[in-house]
């Protein structure tokens, strides 16, 4: 059974703190194993990647077969039904349209002293996208990672997607094709991150790596960060639903289960102003678990990490939500827009009972790669901005340097950085001497 809490309980605060502190990540320490894999790939390149792929994915590769050929991709894409293709194309169209609006503008202006200042945005040159492999791989994640990169203008875009036991998901390859990916490698795990970060004879190094994965992926991201950029260190999925009694309990139950079925470590929380409604939702969850295909996973998630919290009012609900800082937040209340103004920490907000979180996973338009484990307090979901860099611009005229240069010289002297100050003073002396 999930945890039942009420803000009117005398022991609410310590129990809520315990809920916030649940360690849902995998306990296994994989960092040393990942470090060894990365070191091996750095030292032996393709040979290490091929050996590790045979060991962990039971797939025999050569340097020539590490990437899918155009013919292989065409053959696999031909297996996709017209209905699935149409759904993927609709999702891609909506994701592309949404992310195109995120593109920032360059700027340049002349300030009061005559200095020209500004900034410009440029994409990273190459990005690698990680997609977990096999039949459980998600084509939607390919679209969500690749399309923002292409909108940003990334010139070289590759995917690393393992094929354990030789199993290929045609939808993943079709998603990569629709999104404009250049190359799809059939490699995974920490060895894929090492190859993308440091490069091998066959695999060119990239500038940024994004994409979901397990504890090994998280450890690999930490290890290669600095050599390349990463999107985030993501943990198990999570959803918080704030709902009043004017909702269908079964709808809310399904929304909670939509995240619980991801992983036993996932978390689903309901906050409601009506205790009886909370019990009805819990009963609906139990009923759905009798027939859900992934009921073993969803059931374990709900029993170990789920919670139903009763609050006095929606202001209290918003305050608790901000402390939870959920990855996904559904606001199934009479006035969701007003409540959304009060919920300031969330990866994505879904407004109203007709907006299930699952729409956001596929065809809504906003990105589904979102901050987890309360990191929505300080970070955002994946966007075009993750594939762009801002470069500042400055141009001094002689008059502008004369106006602000002495202050720069003074500050350099205060920091005992003599050459800094002298580089300004040399120009000021030339101005004072009449030189331009």
pLDDT 10s digit of each residue in the chain, 436 long?
899 999 999 999 999 999 999 876 655 678 999 999 999 999 999 999 999 999 999 999 999 999 999 999 999 999 999 999 999 999 999 999 999 999 999 999 999 999 999 999 999 999 999 998 865 679 999 999 999 999 999 999 999 999 999 999 999 999 999 999 999 999 999 999 999 999 999 999 999 999 988 888 999 999 999 999 999 998 899 999 999 999 999 999 999 999 999 999 999 999 999 999 999 999 999 999 999 999 999 999 999 999 999 999 999 999 999 999 999 999 999 999 999 999 999 999 999 999 999 999 999 999 999 999 999 999 999 999 999 999 999 999 999 999 999 999 999 999 999 999 999 999 999 998 855 4
Find all residues with CB under 8 Å of 251, minimum gap 6, and list them.
Answer: 332, 353, 356
Residue 57 lies in domain: 31-230
Asked if residue 145 and residue 216 are part of one domain, the reply reads yes
Helix or strand holding residue 391 (H, E): strand 388-395
The catalytic residue among 328, 330, 368, 409 is 328
Asked if residue 185 and residue 148 are part of one domain, the reply reads yes
Asked if residue 341 and residue 244 are part of one domain, the reply reads yes
Among the candidates 230, 249, 276, a domain finishes at: 230
Decide if 173 is inside a domain.
Answer: yes
Asked if residue 340 and residue 416 are part of one domain, the reply reads no
Q: Can 368 be counted among the known catalytic residues?
A: no
Decide if 340 is inside a domain.
Answer: yes
Q: What are the distances in angstroms from CA 179 to CA 69, 88, 95, 142, 326?
A: 17, 10, 10, 8, 29
Decide if 13 is inside a domain.
Answer: no
The catalytic residue among 76, 264, 327, 357 is 327
Decide if 1 is inside a domain.
Answer: no
Q: Can 89 be counted among the known catalytic residues?
A: no
Decide if 7 is inside a domain.
Answer: no
Per-residue pLDDT, 436: 46
Asked if residue 40 and residue 152 are part of one domain, the reply reads yes
Asked if residue 168 and residue 41 are part of one domain, the reply reads yes
Helix or strand holding residue 174 (H, E): helix 170-179
What is the C-alpha to C-alpha distance for residues 82 and 95, in angstroms, rounded to an integer? 20
Find all residues with CB under 8 Å of 65, minimum gap 6, and list them.
Answer: 186
Domains of the chain: total: 3
């Amino acid at each position: 059974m999930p945890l039942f809490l009420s803000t009117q309980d005398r022991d609410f605060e310590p129990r809520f703190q315990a809920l916030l502190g649940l360690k849902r990540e995998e306990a296994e320490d994989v960092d040393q194993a990942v470090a060894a894999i990365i070191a091996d790939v750095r030292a032996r390149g393709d040979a290490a990647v091929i050996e590790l792929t045979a060991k962990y994915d039971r797939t025999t590769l050569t340097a020539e077969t590490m990437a899918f050929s155009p013919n292989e991709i065409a053959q696999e894409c031909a297996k996709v039904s017209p209905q699935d293709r149409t759904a993927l194309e609709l999702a891609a169209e909506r994701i592309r349209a949404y992310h195109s609006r995120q593109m920032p503008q360059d700027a340049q202006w002349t300030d009061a002293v005559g200095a020209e200042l500004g900034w410009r945005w440029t994409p990273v040159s190459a990005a690698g996208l990680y997609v977990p492999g096999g039949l459980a791989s998600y084509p939607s994640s390919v679209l969500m990672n690749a399309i923002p990169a292409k909108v940003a203008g990334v010139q070289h875009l590759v995917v690393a997607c393992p094929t354990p036991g030789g199993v290929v998901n045609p939808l993943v390859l079709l998603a990569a094709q629709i999104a404009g990916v250049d190359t799809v490698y059939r490699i995974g795990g920490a060895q894929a991150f090492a190859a993308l970060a440091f490069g091998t004879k066959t695999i060119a190094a990239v500038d940024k790596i994004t994409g979901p994965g397990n504890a090994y992926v998280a450890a690999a991201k930490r290890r290669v960060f600095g050599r390349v950029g990463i999107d985030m260190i993501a943990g198990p999925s999570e959803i918080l639903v704030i709902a009043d009694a004017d909702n269908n309990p079964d709808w809310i139950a399904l929304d909670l289960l939509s995240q619980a079925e991801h992983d036993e470590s996932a978390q689903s929380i309901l906050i409601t102003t009506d205790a009886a409604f909370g019990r009805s939702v819990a009963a609906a969850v139990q009923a759905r678990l009798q027939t859900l295909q992934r009921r073993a996973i969803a059931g374990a998630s709900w029993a170990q990490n789920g919670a139903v919290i009763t609050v006095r009012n929606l202001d209290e609900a918003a305050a608790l939500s901000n402390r939870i800082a959920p990855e996904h937040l559904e606001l199934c209340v009479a006035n969701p827009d007003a409540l959304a103004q009060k919920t300031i920490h969330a990866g994505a907000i879904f407004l109203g009972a007709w907006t299930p979180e699952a729409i956001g996973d596929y065809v809504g338009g906003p990105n589904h790669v979102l901050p987890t484990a309360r990191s929505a307090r300080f970070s955002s979901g994946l966007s075009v901005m993750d594939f762009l860099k801002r470069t500042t611009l400055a141009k001094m005229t002689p008059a502008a340097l004369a106006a602000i240069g002495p202050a720069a010289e003074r500050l350099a002297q205060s920091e005992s950085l003599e050459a800094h100050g002298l580089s300004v003073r040399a120009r000021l002396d030339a101005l004072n001497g009449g030189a331009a």
